[in-house]
């Protein structure tokens, strides 16, 4: 698992019991999430936009203000915002879908996008250009990390390894660190996440049907089934 530890543990906990039983989770975050501000000021914002659970987690720690409605990308981010105390609506499964969903809803503006330093979709700029005045504030950094010692060990071993990868930046880091892994199956959240692995020899490369956690879990089930069929036994990482 290459996401930050908390997000990785929540993802694994959401797998079906029989799938979890076939796997040995190894946590090797390739990104470390660090706040870039000490406090939040929503100013005149009438609503907030979150495009990742990392943004929700950081914002929840930085402010006790839950008065504004939130518009989120994906079910997992929306659930996390609700659990943190916000009134949250899933506006789309990707940044592009969120923009379309916001244009259909026409919420009260201005809006404020709370995001990391690396993002895709230019949400605030595109919404503003299309008539929904939106500002943005970078509230966290994503520092790249190497593989853990345990991850290095299994990636150079002979047992099948399944790696869910959730973002293009993590995908580039992962692919750049690899050094010959014929037993590795990668489960990519989108075509953009898949791209860094296209010229690498892998056991399997699967793209989730939609860019969300539930579809990623479905894709992992496919990867586990294929690995067991090839190996003739469970025990993937």
Residue 43 and residue 26 in one domain: no
Structural domain count of the chain: 2
Residue 62 and residue 104 in one domain: yes
- Between 233 and 83, where is the model more confident? 83
Residue 136 and residue 122 in one domain: yes
| Region 85-90 average pLDDT | 97
Residue 116 and residue 171 in one domain: no
In the structure, what pLDDT confidence band is assigned to residue 225 with cuts at 50, 70 and 90?
Answer: confident
In the structure, what pLDDT confidence band is assigned to residue 212 with cuts at 50, 70 and 90?
Answer: confident
Strands (E), 7-133: 31-35, 47-50, 69-73, 87-92, 111-116
Each residue's pLDDT tens digit, 89-121: 999 988 999 999 999 999 999 999 999 998 776
Each residue's pLDDT tens digit, 116-175: 998 776 999 999 999 999 999 999 999 999 999 999 999 988 889 999 999 999 999 999
Q: Which of 142, 171, 206 is the last residue of a domain?
A: 142
Beta sheet of 47-50, edge-to-edge order: 31-35, 134-144, 111-116, 47-50, 69-73, 87-92
* Closest-CA residue to 183 (of 208, 153, 207, 213): 153
Residue 26 falls within a domain, yes or no?
Answer: yes
DSSP string, 153-187: HHHTSSS-EEEEE--HHHHHHHHHH----TTEEEE
For the whole prediction, is pTM greater than 0.85? no
pLDDT surpassing 70 at residue 233: no
Residue 101 falls within a domain, yes or no?
Answer: yes
Each residue's pLDDT tens digit, 27-71: 999 999 999 999 998 999 999 999 999 999 999 999 999 999 999
């Amino acid at each position: 698992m290459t996401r930050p530890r908390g997000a990785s543990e929540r993802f694994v906990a959401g797998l079906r019991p029989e799938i979890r039983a076939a796997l040995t989770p190894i946590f090797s975050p390739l990104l470390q999430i660090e706040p870039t501000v000490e406090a939040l000021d929503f100013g005149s914002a009438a609503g907030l936009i979150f495009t990742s659970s990392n943004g929700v987690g950081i914002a929840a720690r930085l402010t006790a203000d839950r008065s504004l409605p939130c518009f989120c990308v994906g079910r997992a981010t929306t659930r996390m915002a609700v659990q943190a105390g916000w009134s949250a609506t899933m506006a789309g499964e990707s940044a592009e879908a969120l923009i379309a969903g916001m244009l259909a809803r026409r919420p009260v503006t201005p809006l404020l996008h709370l995001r990391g330093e690396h993002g895709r979709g230019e949400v605030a700029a595109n919404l503003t250009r299309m008539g929904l005045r939106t500002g943005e504030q970078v509230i966290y950094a994503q520092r790249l990390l190497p593989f853990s010692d345990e991850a290095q060990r299994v990636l150079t071993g002979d047992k099948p390894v399944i790696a869910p990868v959730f973002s293009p930046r993590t995908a580039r880091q992962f692919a750049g660190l690899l050094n010959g892994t014929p037993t590795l199956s990668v489960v990519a959240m989108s075509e953009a996440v898949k791209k860094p692995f296209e010229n690498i020899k892998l056991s399997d490369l699967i793209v989730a049907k939609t860019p969300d956690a539930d579809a990623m879990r479905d894709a992992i089930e496919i990867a586990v089934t294929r690995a067991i069929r090839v190996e003739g036994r469970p025990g993937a990482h």
